[in-house]
Chains A and B, each alone.
Chain A
Amino acid sequence: AQKITQTQPGMFVQEKEAVTLDCTYDTSDPSYGLFWYKQPSSGEMIFLIYQGSYDQQNATEGRYSLNFQKARKSANLVISASQLGDSAMYFCAMRESGSARQLTFGSGTQLTVLP
């Protein structure tokens, strides 16, 4: 079974609008972490935001926030006030406990911000 599922291969958003990128996960481990990475066309992987399974509040980092719904096993990334530079591939990833901190990645969502 897929551990990380990103069901939106591509998304479009108008500049300055907010956009939500979906991520669902599957684990029986009570202790885990969820990450979002951005990969622009230049290819590098850029860490955006982290949510721990025991964190009570949703994580926020500037214009990025993580809508964490533990019971539904979802960890959606919300980007507010989209900018042209946000156009990129976005990956959701999960780290389970006792796993040498390895990450399991979803297949990604290609976000295009329209002017």
Chain B
Amino acid sequence: NAGVTQTPKFRVLKTGQSMTLLCAQDMNHEYMYWYRQDPGMGLRLIHYSVGEGTTAKGEVPDGYNVSRLKKQNFLLGLESAAPSQTSVYFCASSYVGQGAHEQFFGPGTRLTVL
């Protein structure tokens, strides 16, 4: 099992360009999440999904859109990138049910917006 994978691993954009980050999980998890990590700060939730076809806003959703057309995939889009979106982006997924059910994280995507 690959767990949670993210594509691409690195990307450099110019201000105003668009891009899509792809997250895929093979653990049949219902819940998926997108976080960003900035220096000196913990991870902050951008958007999340509780199942195929559903999405919801997290703490810092502005400038991002998401889609979950298939259960195993969760896409994060930047329509018009800004330097403030320079960050490391993490995707995560988790199981539904009682108990710990920790979130499993992908390896991250390092995005630089010039």
A, B: real partners: yes
Residues of A within 8 A of B (CB): 4, 9, 33, 35, 37, 43-45, 47, 50, 52, 91, 93, 100-108
CB <8 Å contact, B42 and A106: yes
Q: How many residues of B contact A (CB 8 A)?
A: 25
- Give the residue of A43, A52, A105 whose beta carbon is less than 8 angstroms from that of B108: A43
CB <8 Å contact, A100 and B88: no
B12 at the interface (CB under 8 A from A): no
- Give the residue of A44, A101, A102 whose beta carbon is less than 8 angstroms from that of B58: A102
CB <8 Å contact, A105 and B43: yes
How many contacts between A and B, using CB within 8 angstroms?
A: 52
- Give the residue of B31, B100, B108 whose beta carbon is less than 8 angstroms from that of A100: B31
Which residues of B23-68 have CB atoms within 8 Å of chain A's CB atoms? 31, 33, 40-45, 48, 50, 56, 58
Which residue of the partner chain A has the closest CB to B40? A107
Q: Check A101/B94 contact, CB under 8 A, given A50-B102, A52-B100.
A: yes
With a cutoff of 8 Å between Cβ atoms, the chain A residues found around residue B88 in the complex are 43
CB <8 Å contact, A44 and B105: yes
Which residue of the partner chain B has the closest CB to A48? B102
With a cutoff of 8 Å between Cβ atoms, the chain B residues found around residue A37 in the complex are 105
CB <8 Å contact, B94 and A45: no
Which residue of the partner chain A has the closest CB to B45? A102
Q: List 30 A-B contacts (CB under 8 A).
A: A4-B42, A9-B40, A33-B100, A35-B100, A43-B88, A43-B107, A43-B108, A44-B105, A44-B107, A44-B108, A45-B90, A47-B103, A50-B102, A52-B100, A91-B43, A93-B43, A101-B31, A101-B94, A101-B96, A101-B101, A102-B33, A102-B45, A102-B58, A103-B33, A103-B45, A103-B103, A105-B44, A107-B41, A107-B42, A108-B42
Which residues of B3-24 have CB atoms within 8 Å of chain A's CB atoms? none
